[in-house]
Amino acid sequence: MVALKRSEMRVIDEIFEMGSGYVLNFSDRTMAEFFEDEFGIEIYQEKFDFKGTSKAKHLRAFIEVEDGYTVGQVLRKLWNYRNSYTERDHIERDEKRLFEIISRIDAGQAPPVLSKLSNKADILSLDTVLRDLKRALDSAQQDPESAVTSSCSTVESVCRSILIELGLELPTKKDIKGLFNAVKRPLGLSSGRTDFDPMIADDVRKILGGLATIVEGIGALRTHGGDAHGRERGFSRMDMRIANLAIHSASTVSLFLIETWKNKYPTKELHKH
């Protein structure tokens, strides 16, 4: 979530010609294509229409609710697009003003993998994944043990969601290791596969084996250091760096699983709940 001063939003309005409800020379269609092609984001989805229906109001809502990393990337791309089709007066002044704002946004940005996972889960309506990820991020500093538990739940929610969407039964053992093992086969992620390019086959197998090790590590850390089984009086708090390591590792695994699922089953529709 980005909190801009009103004066900063006025600068963005001016640079991207948003005063009359437009954004640069975009039509509704080309603006939708810009966000989809560059970022995989549906700009006209419901979460961005709370300010109104114009292109400018959708962009303002996007800036208000999205994470700093994504907003900074969008503003950079819009700046490049603006300068690709016409020459402008005051380009140096505008560039300086805009990038001062982007620098302030960047100072509080989330790591890219977290932003991308959040966007993917949001687009695919994976509500449980979003909740687990948000809990992990919100508690990392003040309650790292809770963040570890939520990180584990993030991966579990992704695996469960994929299995359900594919119409497959959940495994008997529904912990992170059991769920991950159950989802590997339908996604074609077995390290024993023989259809890889020979040049990279060993490398890919090592990475897939490493993913399994990471998943086991996240599950073990949840058991031994998380808060799922309670905490005794005077327990030793976990280092926040370890909680962040769990969050980033879980996010990387989750994003890879979601992207693999959508790549392998590109036309499969989500079940309606």
Q: Break the chain into its structural domains and give their ranges.
A: 6-106, 112-264
pLDDT at residue 272, rounded to an integer: 44
User: What one-letter code names the amino acid at 173?
Assistant: K
Under CATH, what is the fold of the domain 112-264? Four Helix Bundle (Hemerythrin (Met), subunit A) (1.20.120)
Mean pLDDT in consecutive groups of 10 residues from the start of the chain, 273 residues? 84 94 95 91 92 94 86 90 80 87 69 58 60 70 83 90 90 93 88 73 86 92 79 70 86 86 73 45
Cα distance between residue 194 and residue 231, in whole Å:
46
Q: Is 171 helix (H, G, I), strand (E, B) or coil?
A: coil
pLDDT at residue 32, rounded to an integer: 95
pLDDT at residue 273, rounded to an integer: 42
**pTM of the entire structure?**
0.55
pLDDT at residue 116, rounded to an integer: 58
pLDDT at residue 163, rounded to an integer: 92
Cα distance between residue 35 and residue 46, in whole Å:
15
